[in-house]
Amino acid sequence: MNIRQFEENVVKKIRADKIKVKNKDPYLVTGEYTFNMDWKLKADLDILCSDLKQNDDGLIIIVAPEGSGKTVLETQIGYYISQKMKTSWNCDNVHFEGQSYIDSSLNSPQYIVNALDESRRALNKMRGMTGNNVDFNNFLSECRDQNQIHIIVLPAYSDLEQYVAIHRVKYIIQVIKNRDKKSKKLLRGTYRIIDAKSKYKLKEAWKNGYKDFPKSMIIKDKCKFENVLCLNEKDYKKKKTEAKKERYATKTEDKEQNTTIDREKQIVLEHHREGKSARQIAKMLKRSNKTISIWINEFKV
């Protein structure tokens, strides 16, 4: 065998090894839930679990559009890690509000998985809160000593605070949502594993807003996940509905209450113009003398 033939054989072997790795069979996760997990994702999650035991934590970011099946993948990751670390996994691990997420993390043991679903709404709410309320992004910056896994689901990487996006993120997944060109049906169940090691690339990705991650950051493309929700579906939907009601119904109740007060104030104004005293009006409306006096003073301003 001459040198040229030897080199050709080496190249063929390298290519064959690459194809073998690329087509490696998925890992079968069993237990309460059964599903196939991409071998690369499984290997990377094992490393994160190992890091937990070495006094570290892991922040996993899932970037995904609405209706892409992101919650399914989120629960599969949470379930697998919880199995590996021998910790509990149920609807208590999944949150829809930033403050409830923080409270749960602070009061949970090490190695637990906490997931924030629909994170953009929670982040937007936390950004608008002041006073004694905790900034969620600040918490992500400071929670390493909890020795926990944090899963944050977002529509865009840029929704994170810059420091967190560049210095705290350990793992990034981008869930893909496409449409079949012929049938026009939505295609779900595919994701990419994104490079989270290069700080420079992370910074550039963060600055790109709602654009896709560049090809240079894609470590593995076309990874598959099955449609298996690793939670009690009934309990999950109930918790999600309650969170939605709390988020929006409260506003409606506040508006109705404000409308009622405005009507009462109008009645107070009319009686006050007729010459009735604050005590008389308070007795009529079953309000305290102090409240009626305050409203009357408001009219004088």
Find the mean pLDDT for residues 121-130.
54
pLDDT at 153: 93
Q: Is the pLDDT of residue 121 over 50?
A: yes
Give the full edge-to-edge strand order of the sheet including 218-224: 94-95, 113-116, 149-154, 58-63, 171-179, 186-194, 218-224
Q: How many CA atoms lie within 13 A of 109 on its CB side?
A: 8
Domain boundaries, the chain: 15-231, 248-300
pLDDT at 142: 83
Q: Is the pLDDT of residue 277 over 70?
A: yes
Find the mean pLDDT for residues 54-63.
94
What CATH class has 15-231? Answer: alpha beta
Higher-pLDDT residue of 113 and 245 is 113
Q: How confident is the model at residue 133 (pLDDT cuts 50, 70, 90)?
A: very low
Please give the model's pTM, rounded to 2 decimal places.
0.74
For residue 62, list its beta bridge partners. Answer: 153, 173
Q: What are phi and psi of 218, to 5 degrees?
A: -80, 110
- Those residues whose C-beta lies under 8 Å from the C-beta of residue 49, and which sit 6 or more positions away, are 81, 84, 85
pLDDT at 251: 53
Q: How confident is the model at residue 9 (pLDDT cuts 50, 70, 90)?
A: low
pLDDT at 17: 46
Q: Is the pLDDT of residue 18 over 60?
A: no
Find the mean pLDDT for residues 84-113.
92
**Angle (CA) 118 119 120, round 5°:** 100
Q: How confident is the model at residue 14 (pLDDT cuts 50, 70, 90)?
A: very low
For the stretch 184-242, pLDDT in tens is 888 899 999 999 999 999 999 999 888 889 999 999 999 999 999 999 999 999 998 88
